[in-house]
Chains A and B, each alone.
Chain A
């Protein structure tokens, strides 16, 4: 069962908003409606959030994302469309039933923390339970556990005003966790924090998510944050969802020019994973073969190195042209492993940023493996450099007005043009890890 399921959601502010929905369905634009005194905040939004997923809604201010998240827990009623929470339609619930859903199923974390300044940290964390009428001992217990989870053990007796911004937001998070709901709505939850603190909170959220397995709907205007946290991302503009996809899909297959320009400045090396840029090895050799076979394969494929795989597809090592030639000359029968070049191996989910050092330390291509350790592809140094830089040139700068991306805390990738100059005619970026290499003895290229 999907955790949150929205289909054809509209939110229009103004008098008799229903006419706005009809007008939009008949093809009129948002600007047309504005002239009639109607503001279309959310237009035809459809998405599904699976249990255990972090679903990020990303958009600039005024894109309707805050309205959208408030429709999910009924703080703002939808003008049209269906919204289901765990299979339950929430649009036509009575106030009591809606309150029950909020108490038992959905909690929320706010941009400016929204703590009660006159109550202690512990009482704030227990707020959701106090509202439900849980007895004091139980809610203090739950609040204490939640505070411990977010790293605020021992702060329960302080007032929120005595805490730093980052700590206050942890209280906000603890309040949401203490309510023990399956779904967590986070409205620009880290946007009011300093970049460094924000980074720490993101890490903590990812860590908590692995432990607690909540369904999280996260709103942000920070693209880097969206890419870092989101299992999937919905890009919103002017009330409409422009694209829904994983970070890699949005980066590599932007649905339109707006999304493309938006992701233009993103730090690709932190978003793209090894799987997204790896390519099939030009030639692979079974580990049972001898130097003669290796030599033949190299000549046929015009390559300087070969990847050798075991029968279970785990990588055995990389053979180099010089060593193979030597072995053939000296009539050796075993494969001549290089005494100097080791084979670096990484899991396919490792981000690009972590590959550079590895690539610099080894001459051999990086070998990418799956969960079972089997070979999925290789990343020669040239491919790595090209992937890091290939934001440029694909979409061009014809419209200089790329949407501003909020200043992230990560350095931008090196200028693509420089890389392009060093590596002319570099292979194009492989598409989103969808190209699983075929491993054959001789893979003609």
Chain B
């Protein structure tokens, strides 16, 4: 009996629909995609050019100093050692290209994610619509994004960037919403009770109090972007990803390990750096915190 039921049940051509939709979009909205492509690629290229224009010692010094300013001297030393390893493995240029891709993708993702997160926090309706969309974006295998991205934007850095943004966006939205919803109701009430407008409450109370959670979200966005940036190498985005892909196709273990190690170093550096931005206890030993402490002491003394 089972075969009849199976044959009687119609084949639902979801994939065909999606494919048709993408064809239609390519045909009718090509101009939009071209514009996005131009803007994105010029953004990534100018950032990667800037990073590559720095002499390597200056670049290393900048990242080490940043590590000290934001987190701690210990982290700065670890950064120095790790970056020298990247330079020693001849992966510096690739690392900078990947960094440019990750930074632009992260920035774009944040610009999209935070406002959506705010809307979702303020309206349960928006939240109900957004949540399944985010689930979809996060669980759909990342490679699947690459196919339409290539049809829209052709080979290069842009399809990689776009699929990276889509894949990395969800935690930014989720944690922004969570952060705002976590602000104690009484504190928001206090704002209203003293006559604050909804705008004053958003920017004066909700967002500042949500910052640690939002920063945790941004940290997640960066980590996801980095993992996706490697996959983006498959569609021709320059950087460590491309290096890894080419080492797979040539079974070059040595190159694969070196490129992979460089990815790990960039990932850990970005994670620790952004982690310290969101968590006060992590940046106690930072240069920034020391300066602030000194300034407060003089204010309190006066």
A residues lining the B interface (CB < 8 Å):
70, 73, 75, 99-103, 106-108, 110-112, 114-118, 127-128, 130-132, 157-158, 175, 179, 185
Contact = CB atoms under 8 A, between A and B. Distances in A.
Contact of A116 (B187, B193, B300): B187
B209 A131 contact: no
Contacts of A132: 195
Given A114-B187, A116-B187, A118-B209, A157 B300 contact: yes
29 contacts: A70-B189, A73-B193, A75-B189, A99-B197, A100-B195, A101-B195, A102-B193, A103-B195, A107-B193, A107-B194, A108-B190, A110-B189, A110-B190, A111-B186, A114-B184, A114-B189, A114-B190, A115-B190, A116-B204, A118-B208, A118-B209, A127-B194, A131-B191, A131-B194, A131-B196, A157-B296, A157-B299, A157-B300, A175-B194
A112 B187 CA distance: 9
Closest CB pairs A-B (n = 3): A103-B195, A114-B190, A102-B195
B143 interface: no
A131 B200 CA distance: 7
Give the dominant DSSP class at A's interface. Answer: mixed
Contacts of A103: 194-195
Nearest to A132: B195
Nearest to B201: A131
Contact of A99 (B195, B205, B208, B300): B195
Given A116-B205, A157-B300, A128 B195 contact: yes
Interface in B203-251: 204-205, 208-209
A353 to B, nearest CB: 35
Contacts of B189: 70, 75, 110, 114
Nearest to A127: B194
Contacts of B300: 157-158
Nearest to B196: A131
Nearest to A74: B192
A68 to B, nearest CB: 15
Contact of B192 (A102, A115, A117, A118): A102
B195 A117 contact: no
Contacts, number: 64
Interface residues of B, number: 20
A110 B192 CA distance: 12
Nearest to A179: B194
A103 B194 CA distance: 6
A75 B192 contact: yes
A112 B183 CA distance: 13
A102 B189 CA distance: 12
B284 to A, nearest CB: 15
Contacts of B208: 116, 118
B289 to A, nearest CB: 14
Interface in B156-200: 184, 186-187, 189-197, 200
Contacts of B296: 157
Contacts of A157: 296, 299-300
Nearest to A112: B186
A337 B300 CA distance: 65
B152 to A, nearest CB: 43
Contacts of A110: 186, 189-190, 193
A106 to B, nearest CB: 8
Contacts of A73: 193
Contacts of B205: 116
A118 B296 CA distance: 14
Contacts of B197: 99, 131
A99 B187 CA distance: 17
A306 B299 CA distance: 69
A95 to B, nearest CB: 8
Nearest to B198: A95
Contact of A102 (B184, B194, B200, B204): B194
A403 to B, nearest CB: 26
Interface string B260-302: 0000000000000000000000000000000000001001100
A400 B68 CA distance: 67
Contacts of A131: 191, 194-197, 200, 204
Contacts of A107: 193-194
Nearest to B187: A114
Nearest to B300: A157
A101 B193 CA distance: 10
A97 to B, nearest CB: 11
A100 to B, nearest CB: 7
A75 B190 CA distance: 10
Pick the most buried of A101, A106, A110, A132: most chain B CB atoms within 10 A of its CB.
Answer: A110
